[in-house]
Every structure is written in C-alpha cells, then in structure tokens.
Amino acid sequence: MTHFITISGNIGAGKTTLSKILAQKLGWELAAEPVDENPYLEDFYKDMKRWAFHSQIFYLSKMAKHHFDLAKKTTSAIQDRSFYENAEIFAANLYKQKLISEKEWSTYAHLYRSLLDIMTPPDLIVYLQAAPEVLWQRIQHRSREAEKYMTLDYIIGLNEMYELWAKSFNRCPVLIYNIDKADLKYAEPEQEDLMAKIKQVLLLNTDNKHSCQWQAKSSIN
C-alpha cells in the first residue's frame, strides 16, 4: 500500500532535513519545498508589504501542483511542507499583519477554497513542534541569505498560528512531535522513534484514509 505524508513546521524546524532522512530510510519519494524557486522570496523579506501577495500566490500554485501530483502517485512519498500551512498560516499571518490587503486576501481565499474542494488530503501530517527561541537560534546558525531580514517577532507570530493550526486541523491525522531538545539531523534514536510513530498512525488509519475529508473545514473563510 502506498502512503502520502507531509512534514510541517515553522521556519527553522528542520522539515527539509527530516524529509530527506525519512525518504531515504523508508525508500519513499521526496517532494521538496519549492523555496529556492520563488522569484519573490528575497524581495519579500526586504519589503513584505510590496511582495507578500505575489510571493503567496506563487507558493499556492506551486504547492497545489506538488500536492496533486503526489496524491496521484502509485509510490509512497513525503512532502516537505504542506499546501495547507502555506495558506492557513503564512498567507493568513501576512493578512493579519495587514501586509496583504483586503482585496488581495479576498482573491487569495477564493482561490484557496476552490482548490480545497478538489484536493485529496495526505494520509498524515507530521508537525515538528519547537519553541520560537529554538527556531530562531537555528535560523541564525544556518545563515541563509533570504532569511537575514527575518525577525524573532515574525517567528513568534507564526509559531502561535502553527500551534492553533496543528491542534485544530481535521482533514487528516496530525502527529505532533516536539524537537526542542533534539536536532533530528543527528539524533538517530529520535529518528527511529518518530519513524515508529509514523508507521503506527498510518497502520491505524489505513481503513479510514479519506474519512476526515468530508467533515473538514478550512480556517480561511
């Protein structure tokens, strides 16, 4: 039986690293987050209000394509960051901060809801939970050019939304895994522990793969 899971989490949580590790260990296909391809990303971090809508529309279209392609595959796959969190956390946070206008948000939300109506959810979302200070330290350590304009307040705001989202998301099971004390890139025991938990959830939900789809609601209205 094939499976489709998504690794979710705030910036700096280690989604990409973990996705690569799990894909290798499980022998599954890896669908990487299209961060480096976003032509608006660096401009966005320099001037968020000017480029927020452009950046989020790019992510929405790119992640929707990733999701649809993965859902149709006949082999198991791991997606680095979900289609849902791009909209319900990152775009919603920008709207909340008034970096996306009312008119832009109305357009974005309409498109997002239209895509949800035809989208099959993954079998499982793994949310990598971490304190904002831990995330900030990791972001500073990796020193990515596009992230140098970020602030701790921005990460804190995203984290608050992530916590609410992970606990209320109902389109598929969500496995919350705290990584405050372990860098999963090097922590072999934690890697094995997480893999065991993932397999357990997938086994329990095999017979109800799409059961939550029909009752699910979006946080974007």
pLDDT in tens, 77-92: 999 999 999 999 999 9
> What number is the average pLDDT over the span 129-157?
88
pTM of the model: 0.84
Please report the pLDDT score of residue 34 as a whole number. 63
pLDDT of residue 208 exceeding 60:
no
CA distance linking residue 3 with residue 200, whole number of Å: 13
**4-206: CATH class:** alpha beta
Cα–Cα distance between 173 and 160 in angstroms, integer?
20
Residue 180 DSSP one-character state? T
Higher per-residue pLDDT: 213 or 129: 129
For the chain, domain boundaries: 4-206
Hey, CA dihedral for 36, 175, 108, 43, is it positive or negative? negative
Cα distance between residue 211 and residue 190, in whole Å: 30
**pLDDT score, position 219:** 62
* Residue 220, CA distances (Å) to 38, 71, 142, 211 in order: 23, 22, 32, 21
Q: Return the number of other C-beta atoms located less than 10 Å from residue 129's C-beta.
A: 18
Across the chain, the runs of DSSP E, i.e. the strands, are 4-9, 29-31, 77-80, 124-129, 174-178
pLDDT at 50: 96
**For residue 132, which of 163, 166, 94 has the smallest C-alpha distance?**
163
pLDDT > 70 fraction of the chain, expressed in percent and rounded: 91
β-pair type (4-9, 124-129): parallel
CA distance 44 to 56: 10
- pLDDT band at residue 37 under the 50/70/90 scheme: confident
> How far, in Å, CA of 177 to CA of 126, rounded?
7
Residue positions annotated with a catalytic role = 80
Which residue has tokens 């895994």? 177
